[in-house]
Structure 1
Amino acid sequence: MLPTEQIPGVYHRKVGDILVTALTDGYLDAGYGIFHSVSADEAASILDEGREPSPPRISVNMFLVRGNGRTALVDTGSSDCMGDTLGLLPQSLAAAGVTPEEIDTILLTHMHPDHSAGLLTPEGKVQFPNAEVVVGEADYALWHDDAAMASTDERRRMRYFEWSRKQIAPYRDRLVWAEGDVMPGVTTVPLPGHTPGHCGYLIHSGNDSMLVWGDTVHVPGVQVPRPEASMVFDWEPDRAVESRRRVFDMVASENTLVAGMHIHFPGFGRMIRTGDGYRLVPEAWTFTL
């Protein structure tokens, strides 16, 4: 019988003595109207020219970080909040041979449902009973601001404010603000704009480093050649563009490996300059660890 599904979405990559494992939570199909500053027709043309999935198909990745006696997970996936093409993190984690109980640290890049809803199981129970949760203080403050919640639309109220409050509530007594060194070999990199507390995590060991850049891009086929293309999901679009340009310049100048939540799985690549712009080059498969 021919196979009917792909192999588990798990891929390992060493950063010095730290093992980083990409885990898939699935994917999300989106329309062309998710961009600011780039029209639907322009987005379709850019994707078609680059032979990218069109309409956009957005990968959703998490990254397991193991080293220095710690087991951390960068973002937690969607649980059952965002449709049946997502919510695969538990299966991916099991395929990597790790149980939720083994994870001692959750590093949230921000509190949007495809990144934080997996703090809870579909039944509403705590998914990671032994983990502290590292999150941007500005994110926590915004999603718990009643006046901000009242001033926005119904969809944002539910997905950003109500869901975030529910997901983080059981972990309140073990929250750590994302600033500075959050664990051995991992340093916070503030990237505000997509959300006020959106951040990346620089993983470093020996002479190696990798920046897990969160939602710096959602659709790399559009936002790498057109970094001014902010998203309808951005809380502060202009600030998100500013952060994206800054990160592109930094990782290109320093040849830093990046890992992205929405780069095509497994999500590793390097940014290079091309004239006045950039190109994201997926990292070749690593056969040895």
Structure 2
Amino acid sequence: MILKKLAVPFAIATLAGAAHAAAPMAKTQAPGFYRMTLGDFEVTVLNDGTVDLPMDKLLHQKPEKTAKSLDQHFLKNPVETSVNAFLVNTGSKLVLIDTGAGGLFGPTLGNLVKSLKAAGYQPEQVDEIYITHLHGDHVGGLGALDKPAFPNAVVRMDKRDADFFLSKVNLEKASAESKGNFQGPINAVSAYASAGKLQPFDGNTELVPGVRASSSYGHTPGHTTYVVESKGQKLVLLGDLMHNAAVQFPDPSVTIQFDSDAKAAYAQRKAAFAEAAKQGYWIGVAHLPFPGVGHLRGDGKGYKFFPVNYSVPR
């Protein structure tokens, strides 16, 4: 009698277990945003996705040395590398710093607008866009030709980058494999330029109260970091002054193939790391693992990075 009573419930439980086991793998992440307060400002980091980078081939050191550093951080080549952008709400202006890759780097990137909307904003609300430099993974998300992704925004970057990457002469002179480095940015800014909303600046400039451009030329001719300050709190957005934490924090002298002037890029990184460690302010980096925000401390000849402690804005 006891066995008969258990038979039906046991069969139901078995079927239920089988149904759960058959659920497919999701294989996706939620749209990426991380929000923090900075004085009276609110900063939202937006993730555009990730891209696999063969650091053993890109970084200027022996591949086996790179592999050893990666292994110490439980990483291997190619390294899945975040592409981050930063949305700063000053209370009067909504400022986006970098825009991700858009459609320029394949299907694993181009998620910035999705992340922006998940964070509670619409593209039409963005007032100003500041570009650290005109490589495709920072400018591609602006849109293409006559389709601006942020229709009400003014777009700004250092004139040295604009003069180089938006030059039709440079596009025509470029090799076949390099033409995309110019055509992508030209297409991305086209609609803004036509509307009179492309406004390059010249060197160190305050762009809106609390946000200023700081020249850090080297990675590209006009590479720029952006300094965000409110109520004594400071966040410096380093753009592409670095690409890999496992290698370049312990040894900032290691440069990367993407640098247009590796010597100058190293000098800028060295100075930026030293100042951040000395003053203790926040840094935000485009290619650190999302959200790419934290602090630096000196560690021998290099540095240790301390990622932001997960917190909820209050």
TM-score after normalising by structure 2: 0.86
CA drift at 1:149: 4.1
Equivalent position of 2:288 in the other structure: 263
Q: CA deviation at 1:88?
A: 0.8
SS of the residue 1:97 aligns to? coil
Equivalent position of 2:18 in the other structure: none
Match of 2:220 among 172, 177, 195: 195
1:208 shift after superposition? 0.5
User: Aligned ranges for residues 64-83 of structure 1 at < 5 Å?
Assistant: 64-83=87-106
Question: What is the CA distance between 1:8 and its match in structure 2?
Answer: 2.3
5+ residue gaps in structure 1? Answer: none
CA shift for structure 1 position 156: 2.4
Q: Displacement of 1:148 after TM fit? A: 4.1
Which has the larger Rg? 2
Confirm whether residue 132 of structure 1 aligns to residue 154 of structure 2.
yes
Which structure has more relative contact order (CA 8 Å, sep 6+)? It is 1
Name which of structure 1's ranges 230-239 and 14-23 shifts more when overlaid on structure 2.
230-239
Tell me if 1:168 matches 2:193: no
1:136-163 deviation line (CA, Å, top 9, x unaligned): 11000111345544554433222x2111
Q: Distance in 2 between matches of 1:34 and 1:18?
A: 40
* Matches of 1:97 and 1:3, distance apart in 2: 27
Distance 1:214 1:63 in 2: 10
* Regions of 4+ moved over 2 Å: 5-8, 32-37, 50-55, 144-157, 175-179
Partner of 1:238: 263
Alignment-derived partner of residue 46 in structure 2: 23
**Among candidates 9, 13, 16, match of residue 32 of structure 2:** 9
Counterparts of 2:25 and 2:209 in 1: how far apart (Å)? 41
1:72 Cα deviation after fit: 1.0
Q: Secondary structure at the match of 1:20?
A: strand
Matches within 5 A, 1:193-232: 193-232=218-257
TM-score of the aligned structures, taking structure 1 as reference length: 0.93
Once the two structures are TM-superposed, the CA of residue 199 in structure 1 deviates from its matched residue by 0.7
Aligned residues: 287
Post-superposition offset of 1:288: 3.3
* Residue pair 1:44, 1:55 contacting (<8 A) in 2 also: no
For the residue of structure 2 that corresponds to 1:177, the secondary structure is coil
- 1:194-223 per-position Cα deviation (integer Å, ceiling 9, x unaligned): 111111111000111100111111112111
RMSD between aligned residues:
1.8
8 A Cα contact 2:35 2:312, kept in partner: no
Shift of 1:2: 7.3
The CA deviation at 1:40 is 1.8
Q: Which runs of 5+ in 2 are unaligned?
A: 1-22
Give, as a single letter, the amino acid of the residue that structure 2 aligns with 1:63. Answer: F
Of 104, 107, 121, which residue of structure 1 is paired with 2:127? 104
Any conservation in 2 of the 1:48–1:54 contact (CA below 8 Å)? no
- Distance of 1:223 and 1:275 partners within structure 2: 13
Matched, 1:274 2:299: yes
Separation (CA, whole Å) in 2 of partners of 1:268 and 1:2: 34
In the TM superposition, residue 9 of structure 1 has moved relative to its aligned partner by 0.7
- Residue equivalent to 1:62: 85
